[in-house]
Homo-oligomer: A and B are copies of this chain.
Amino acid sequence: MFIKAKQSRVFQDVVEQIQNAIISGKLEPGSKLPAERELKDMFNTSRGTLREALRVLEQKGLIEIKLGVSGGAIIKRIDAGIMIESMALLIRSGEVSLEHLAEFRIKTEGSIMELATQRATKKDIKELEKLFNRAKDYYEQSDWENFLLTDEKMHTYIGTITRNPVFQFVQKTIHDNIHLYYNEFLPMDKDRSLENLMDFKRIIDAMKAGDQKAASEIIMDHVKRFNDKMLEKTRKKPKE
Protein backbone atom coordinates (compact mmCIF):
# COMPACT_ATOMS: atom_id res chain seq x y z
CA MET A 1 0.00 0.00 0.00
CA PHE A 2 2.47 2.58 1.17
CA ILE A 3 6.14 2.87 0.43
CA LYS A 4 8.45 4.00 3.15
CA ALA A 5 8.81 7.74 3.38
CA LYS A 6 12.28 8.71 2.28
CA GLN A 7 14.41 10.04 5.05
CA SER A 8 15.60 13.51 4.28
CA ARG A 9 19.29 13.52 3.89
CA VAL A 10 20.51 16.70 2.27
CA PHE A 11 23.14 14.99 0.14
CA GLN A 12 20.50 12.65 -1.30
CA ASP A 13 18.47 15.60 -2.44
CA VAL A 14 21.54 17.02 -4.15
CA VAL A 15 22.25 13.67 -5.79
CA GLU A 16 18.72 13.44 -7.13
CA GLN A 17 18.72 16.95 -8.52
CA ILE A 18 21.99 16.49 -10.37
CA GLN A 19 21.09 12.97 -11.48
CA ASN A 20 17.79 14.14 -12.91
CA ALA A 21 19.52 16.93 -14.76
CA ILE A 22 21.87 14.37 -16.30
CA ILE A 23 19.19 11.81 -17.15
CA SER A 24 16.91 14.38 -18.69
CA GLY A 25 19.74 15.62 -20.85
CA LYS A 26 19.97 19.08 -19.32
CA LEU A 27 23.57 18.25 -18.54
CA GLU A 28 25.38 16.62 -21.43
CA PRO A 29 28.25 14.16 -21.31
CA GLY A 30 31.52 16.03 -21.41
CA SER A 31 30.18 19.18 -19.81
CA LYS A 32 31.41 20.23 -16.42
CA LEU A 33 29.65 20.95 -13.16
CA PRO A 34 30.59 24.18 -11.35
CA ALA A 35 33.34 24.00 -8.74
CA GLU A 36 32.51 22.55 -5.34
CA ARG A 37 32.63 25.95 -3.68
CA GLU A 38 30.09 27.27 -6.17
CA LEU A 39 27.80 24.24 -6.06
CA LYS A 40 27.76 24.39 -2.30
CA ASP A 41 26.27 27.88 -2.52
CA MET A 42 23.83 26.93 -5.28
CA PHE A 43 22.41 24.11 -3.16
CA ASN A 44 22.77 26.18 0.00
CA THR A 45 24.68 23.48 1.81
CA SER A 46 28.14 22.85 3.18
CA ARG A 47 31.08 21.60 1.20
CA GLY A 48 31.25 18.34 3.13
CA THR A 49 27.66 17.46 2.39
CA LEU A 50 28.07 18.45 -1.24
CA ARG A 51 31.14 16.25 -1.53
CA GLU A 52 29.19 13.28 -0.17
CA ALA A 53 26.70 13.84 -2.98
CA LEU A 54 29.48 14.01 -5.57
CA ARG A 55 30.94 10.80 -4.17
CA VAL A 56 27.62 9.02 -4.76
CA LEU A 57 27.31 10.37 -8.29
CA GLU A 58 30.87 9.31 -9.00
CA GLN A 59 30.18 5.80 -7.70
CA LYS A 60 27.07 5.60 -9.86
CA GLY A 61 29.27 6.29 -12.87
CA LEU A 62 27.49 9.53 -13.71
CA ILE A 63 30.42 11.87 -13.20
CA GLU A 64 34.17 11.71 -13.18
CA ILE A 65 36.23 14.00 -10.98
CA LYS A 66 39.51 15.52 -12.04
CA LEU A 67 42.12 17.24 -9.95
CA GLY A 68 43.83 20.58 -10.23
CA VAL A 69 42.86 23.90 -11.78
CA SER A 70 40.41 23.33 -14.62
CA GLY A 71 39.55 20.10 -12.82
CA GLY A 72 36.13 19.31 -11.43
CA ALA A 73 33.17 17.02 -12.01
CA ILE A 74 32.67 16.04 -15.63
CA ILE A 75 29.45 14.40 -16.81
CA LYS A 76 30.19 10.90 -18.09
CA ARG A 77 28.41 8.99 -20.80
CA ILE A 78 26.73 6.01 -19.15
CA ASP A 79 28.67 2.82 -19.73
CA ALA A 80 28.83 -0.72 -18.38
CA GLY A 81 31.24 0.28 -15.62
CA ILE A 82 28.94 -0.17 -12.63
CA MET A 83 27.57 -3.46 -13.91
CA ILE A 84 31.07 -4.77 -14.47
CA GLU A 85 31.98 -3.81 -10.93
CA SER A 86 28.83 -5.35 -9.47
CA MET A 87 29.49 -8.60 -11.26
CA ALA A 88 33.09 -8.55 -10.10
CA LEU A 89 31.87 -8.21 -6.52
CA LEU A 90 29.51 -11.15 -6.92
CA ILE A 91 32.29 -13.30 -8.31
CA ARG A 92 34.92 -12.27 -5.78
CA SER A 93 32.55 -12.84 -2.88
CA GLY A 94 31.88 -16.37 -4.13
CA GLU A 95 28.21 -15.63 -4.67
CA VAL A 96 28.66 -16.43 -8.36
CA SER A 97 30.96 -19.26 -9.42
CA LEU A 98 32.66 -19.61 -12.76
CA GLU A 99 30.28 -22.48 -13.55
CA HIS A 100 27.32 -20.18 -12.99
CA LEU A 101 28.86 -17.60 -15.22
CA ALA A 102 29.66 -20.15 -17.92
CA GLU A 103 26.12 -21.47 -17.94
CA PHE A 104 24.84 -17.96 -18.36
CA ARG A 105 27.36 -17.29 -21.11
CA ILE A 106 26.37 -20.36 -23.08
CA LYS A 107 22.74 -19.35 -23.18
CA THR A 108 23.32 -15.65 -23.63
CA GLU A 109 26.04 -15.77 -26.23
CA GLY A 110 23.95 -18.28 -28.13
CA SER A 111 21.13 -15.77 -28.25
CA ILE A 112 23.46 -12.92 -29.09
CA MET A 113 24.90 -14.94 -31.94
CA GLU A 114 21.45 -15.58 -33.40
CA LEU A 115 20.59 -11.90 -33.35
CA ALA A 116 23.97 -10.87 -34.67
CA THR A 117 23.68 -13.28 -37.57
CA GLN A 118 20.28 -11.83 -38.41
CA ARG A 119 21.51 -8.28 -38.32
CA ALA A 120 25.12 -8.33 -39.49
CA THR A 121 25.85 -6.01 -42.38
CA LYS A 122 28.68 -6.54 -44.81
CA LYS A 123 30.59 -3.93 -42.89
CA ASP A 124 30.14 -5.89 -39.69
CA ILE A 125 31.48 -9.04 -41.31
CA LYS A 126 34.45 -7.10 -42.63
CA GLU A 127 35.15 -5.72 -39.18
CA LEU A 128 35.02 -9.22 -37.69
CA GLU A 129 37.38 -10.50 -40.36
CA LYS A 130 39.73 -7.65 -39.64
CA LEU A 131 39.72 -8.53 -35.95
CA PHE A 132 40.16 -12.20 -36.78
CA ASN A 133 43.20 -11.54 -38.95
CA ARG A 134 44.68 -9.28 -36.34
CA ALA A 135 44.21 -11.95 -33.67
CA LYS A 136 45.82 -14.49 -35.97
CA ASP A 137 48.85 -12.24 -36.42
CA TYR A 138 49.22 -11.81 -32.69
CA TYR A 139 48.89 -15.55 -32.27
CA GLU A 140 51.66 -16.22 -34.76
CA GLN A 141 53.84 -13.62 -33.09
CA SER A 142 53.07 -15.19 -29.71
CA ASP A 143 51.92 -11.78 -28.48
CA TRP A 144 49.49 -13.13 -25.90
CA GLU A 145 48.51 -9.87 -24.35
CA ASN A 146 47.29 -8.42 -27.62
CA PHE A 147 45.89 -11.74 -28.72
CA LEU A 148 43.65 -11.86 -25.67
CA LEU A 149 42.59 -8.27 -26.12
CA THR A 150 41.62 -8.88 -29.71
CA ASP A 151 39.78 -12.05 -28.79
CA GLU A 152 37.78 -10.07 -26.26
CA LYS A 153 37.08 -7.42 -28.90
CA MET A 154 35.62 -10.03 -31.22
CA HIS A 155 33.21 -11.16 -28.53
CA THR A 156 32.10 -7.66 -27.66
CA TYR A 157 31.82 -6.71 -31.32
CA ILE A 158 29.36 -9.54 -31.83
CA GLY A 159 27.38 -7.89 -29.05
CA THR A 160 27.57 -4.60 -30.93
CA ILE A 161 26.09 -6.19 -34.03
CA THR A 162 22.87 -7.01 -32.17
CA ARG A 163 22.17 -3.24 -32.05
CA ASN A 164 20.67 -3.89 -28.64
CA PRO A 165 22.39 -2.04 -25.80
CA VAL A 166 21.16 -4.54 -23.20
CA PHE A 167 23.03 -7.36 -24.89
CA GLN A 168 25.98 -5.06 -25.38
CA PHE A 169 26.16 -4.22 -21.69
CA VAL A 170 25.75 -7.83 -20.68
CA GLN A 171 28.42 -9.01 -23.09
CA LYS A 172 30.83 -6.34 -21.91
CA THR A 173 30.13 -7.17 -18.27
CA ILE A 174 30.78 -10.86 -18.76
CA HIS A 175 33.90 -10.50 -20.83
CA ASP A 176 35.51 -7.83 -18.72
CA ASN A 177 35.17 -10.13 -15.75
CA ILE A 178 36.38 -13.18 -17.62
CA HIS A 179 39.37 -11.18 -18.74
CA LEU A 180 40.08 -10.03 -15.20
CA TYR A 181 39.87 -13.56 -13.94
CA TYR A 182 41.82 -14.97 -16.81
CA ASN A 183 44.71 -12.59 -16.34
CA GLU A 184 44.83 -13.26 -12.67
CA PHE A 185 44.67 -17.02 -12.55
CA LEU A 186 45.35 -18.72 -15.81
CA PRO A 187 48.54 -19.10 -17.78
CA MET A 188 48.34 -18.94 -21.56
CA ASP A 189 47.68 -22.16 -23.38
CA LYS A 190 48.84 -22.23 -26.97
CA ASP A 191 46.69 -25.10 -28.18
CA ARG A 192 43.54 -23.79 -26.61
CA SER A 193 44.14 -20.40 -28.17
CA LEU A 194 44.42 -21.78 -31.68
CA GLU A 195 41.27 -23.81 -31.20
CA ASN A 196 39.47 -20.71 -29.95
CA LEU A 197 40.65 -18.67 -32.84
CA MET A 198 39.50 -21.20 -35.41
CA ASP A 199 36.02 -21.17 -33.89
CA PHE A 200 35.78 -17.56 -34.96
CA LYS A 201 36.60 -18.48 -38.51
CA ARG A 202 33.69 -20.93 -38.49
CA ILE A 203 31.44 -18.33 -36.88
CA ILE A 204 32.21 -15.77 -39.53
CA ASP A 205 31.49 -18.31 -42.23
CA ALA A 206 28.15 -19.19 -40.64
CA MET A 207 27.28 -15.51 -40.40
CA LYS A 208 28.11 -15.02 -44.04
CA ALA A 209 25.77 -17.88 -44.88
CA GLY A 210 23.12 -16.35 -42.61
CA ASP A 211 22.94 -19.59 -40.70
CA GLN A 212 21.74 -18.47 -37.26
CA LYS A 213 21.52 -21.93 -35.81
CA ALA A 214 25.02 -22.95 -36.85
CA ALA A 215 26.59 -19.74 -35.63
CA SER A 216 24.79 -20.04 -32.33
CA GLU A 217 25.82 -23.65 -31.85
CA ILE A 218 29.44 -22.95 -32.61
CA ILE A 219 29.67 -20.20 -30.04
CA MET A 220 27.85 -22.25 -27.42
CA ASP A 221 30.25 -25.10 -27.95
CA HIS A 222 33.13 -22.62 -27.94
CA VAL A 223 32.09 -21.28 -24.56
CA LYS A 224 31.51 -24.77 -23.21
CA ARG A 225 34.98 -25.93 -24.17
CA PHE A 226 36.55 -22.77 -22.82
CA ASN A 227 34.82 -23.31 -19.54
CA ASP A 228 35.81 -26.96 -19.28
CA LYS A 229 39.45 -26.02 -19.78
CA MET A 230 39.16 -23.28 -17.23
CA LEU A 231 37.62 -25.57 -14.63
CA GLU A 232 40.23 -28.22 -15.24
CA LYS A 233 43.00 -25.72 -14.68
CA THR A 234 41.56 -23.98 -11.67
CA ARG A 235 41.04 -27.37 -10.04
CA LYS A 236 44.63 -28.31 -10.63
CA LYS A 237 45.84 -24.93 -9.45
CA PRO A 238 43.51 -23.86 -6.67
CA LYS A 239 44.10 -20.30 -5.56
CA GLU A 240 44.16 -20.74 -1.83
The chain A residues found within 8 Å of chain B, CB to CB, are 1, 7, 11, 22-23, 25, 48, 51-52, 55-56, 59-62, 67, 78, 82-83, 85-86, 89-90, 92-93, 95-96, 100-101, 103-104, 107-108, 110-111, 114-115, 145, 164-167, 169-170
Contacts and interface: CB of A to CB of B under 8 A. Distances in A.
A165 B90 contact: yes
Contact of A82 (B55, B78, B86): B86
**What is the copy number of this chain in the assembly?**
2
13 contacts: A23-B89, A48-B51, A52-B55, A55-B59, A56-B59, A78-B93, A86-B86, A101-B166, A104-B167, A107-B111, A107-B114, A108-B108, A170-B170
Contact of A7 (B48, B52, B67, B103): B67
A85 B62 CA distance: 12
A89 B83 CA distance: 12
Nearest to A174: B166
Nearest to A15: B59
Contacts of A166: 96, 100-101, 103-104
Contacts of A23: 89, 92-93
Contacts of A93: 22-23, 25, 78
A2 to B, nearest CB: 11
A93 B78 CA distance: 9
A116 to B, nearest CB: 12
Contacts of A78: 89-90, 93, 95
Nearest to A53: B55
Contacts of A101: 166
